[in-house]
Amino acid sequence: MIIFAAHVFLSFMEDLKTTLKQQIIESLNLQGMKPEDIDDNAPLFGDGLGLDSIDSLELMVLLERNYGIKIEDAREGRKVLGSVQTMAEYIQQHRTV
Amino acid sequence: MIKHPLYIKAACAISPQHSFGDTPVLDPVVPSEGNRFVAVDVDYRAFINPVAIRRMSRLLKMSISAAMKCLQNAGVSMPDAIITGTGRGSAGDMQHFLKDMIMMKEEALNPTFFIQSTYNAPNGWIALQSKSTGYNQTFVHRGISLELALLDAQLLLTETGDNQNILIGSYDETTADYFVVKEKLNYWKKETVASEHLYQNNETLGTIAGEGAAFFVVSGEKEGATCSIESLEIIHQPAPTMIRNKVHEVLAANGLTTDDIDVVLCGRSGDVRFEAWYNVLEDFTTQTIAGFKHLCGEYETTSGFALWLAHHIFSQASVPESTILQKGDRKEIRHVLIINHFILDTVSITLLRG
């Protein structure tokens, strides 16, 4: 039973990350990029995807629009927007829609 | 009124025609579709930072690319000033932002549309791209936006000296929403008109919508210039006789008569309401008369396309066949007169010398 639940959870997380990657690509207009091109754990800012401060605002809007998550604390925001993995984990715990 | 010539060193236009690049082609003409012209896209990535380009609207990409190419043509890396004119600025981004405000009940709004929805967003980007920290101004005055930018450039040169290189430009886009709204105000013809027959369809209201960006590097110094703007006059909602009088007044003020004009570029648009504004063309019987709104459509800053066309005519020493409404008998092109209007609004008269 526990193994089945873990399997369901992992599958759910994989789907969430794929959806999230697609939303990031559309929201930030990352032309020519596909979900599989984005590494789950690669940093979104700096060396990874190379996003900038305006992109971070766009990602905040993405979280609010699609998952009902409002991040008020900038330090928390930096942690949450670290990678697709950290975003997905935060969404899984805090989503309201 | 310009009291000091503005020398045009380079020009570049992105328009519904293949006007961009080192060898602009106006023959054959790209026709409009459904009473609407759309500007021909160019390789924007050659002029804009790849990270920045992904969040830019078409208008931004058009205006920045035209500006950077114009600077390249002039051999100027950093202009001393950037002055532009636009009727609607970044209308597309503004519409996105306003729609978002309604749909999202004023919450969770995309920052990009907000940041880039301002009229002067292209100026900011051009300044960043060219590293220009000088005077930077955008004029937003419907049909005389570019004209006011030109007058401001002249004032700036008077204050700062002739050796300044000023980047002047105009840009406007026609979005689907704008087209629908203005259609209700009879801006566009009800019947579908082929753009090549625009001037024959001059008994009904409206014209063809258009868009484009045109940029120029001007200076107070003659060296390296293709032509100069000698006079610029603006008339608000004139009677036809006022236009005729003003044209003759401008010519007389420059020691010229109609005989000295070689080419007249007229902004006729096929709209029955404004045909009488061009009665003055009857005074130019032996000159070449050329139209341009069957190439670029109607928008607030068509004067930018007309000015680019005038520069093209001087640099090629010939008038493109596709523009000619009346063939003149002049062997040499020394003076070009632009008479243009914007819907229900203003008429501008610009005198250029080659």
Identify which of B115, B172, B116 has the alpha carbon closest to the alpha carbon of residue B139.
Answer: B172
The nearest CA of chain A is from the CA of B114 a distance in Å of: 11
Q: Is B50 on the interface with A (CB under 8 A)?
A: no
Whole-number percent of chain B with pLDDT over 70: 99
Mean local confidence (pLDDT), A35-53: 88
The domain that holds A89 is classified in CATH as 1.10.1200.10
Mean local confidence (pLDDT), B293-316: 98
Are residues B134 and B80 in contact, defined by beta-carbon separation less than 8 angstroms? yes
Q: Is B103 on the interface with A (CB under 8 A)?
A: no
Mutate to test the interface with A, among B106, B109, B110, B115 (most CBs of A within 10 A): B110
Which tokens sit at A84? Answer: 């697709």
Mean pLDDT of chain B, nearest integer? 95
Q: Structural domain of residue A57, as residue ranges?
A: 2-94
Residue B260 has pLDDT above 90, yes or no: yes
Q: Tell me whether residues B54 and A30 touch, CB distance under 8 A.
A: yes
CA–CA dist B35, B26 (Å, integer)? 19
Q: Which residues pair with B265 in a beta bridge?
A: B290, B338
Window from B44-53, B279-288, B328-337 with minimum mean pLDDT: B44-53
Which of chain B's residues have a Cβ under 8 Å away from the Cβ of A28? 54-55
Which of chain B's residues have a Cβ under 8 Å away from the Cβ of A30? 54
How many domains does the structure of chain A reveal?
A: 1
Q: Is B46 on the interface with A (CB under 8 A)?
A: no
Q: Tell me whether residues A28 and B54 touch, CB distance under 8 A.
A: yes
Residue B332 has pLDDT above 90, yes or no: yes
User: Is 0.90 exceeded by the ipTM?
Assistant: no
Q: Tell me whether residues A54 and B104 touch, CB distance under 8 A.
A: no
Query: Sorting pLDDT into bands at 50, 70 and 90, what band is B1?
Result: low
pLDDT at position A1: 65
The nearest CA of chain A is from the CA of B110 a distance in Å of: 6
> Which domains are assigned to chain B?
6-219 (3.40.47.10), 227-353 (3.40.47.10)
Nearest to B108 among A29, A52, A61 (CB): A61
DSSP B76-142: -SS-SEEEEE-SSSSHHHHHHHHHHHHHTTT-S--HHHHHTTSTTHHHHHHHHHHT--SEEEEE--G
Q: Is B253 on the interface with A (CB under 8 A)?
A: no
- Quick: pLDDT tens for B107-149: 888 888 998 999 999 999 999 999 999 999 999 999 999 999 9
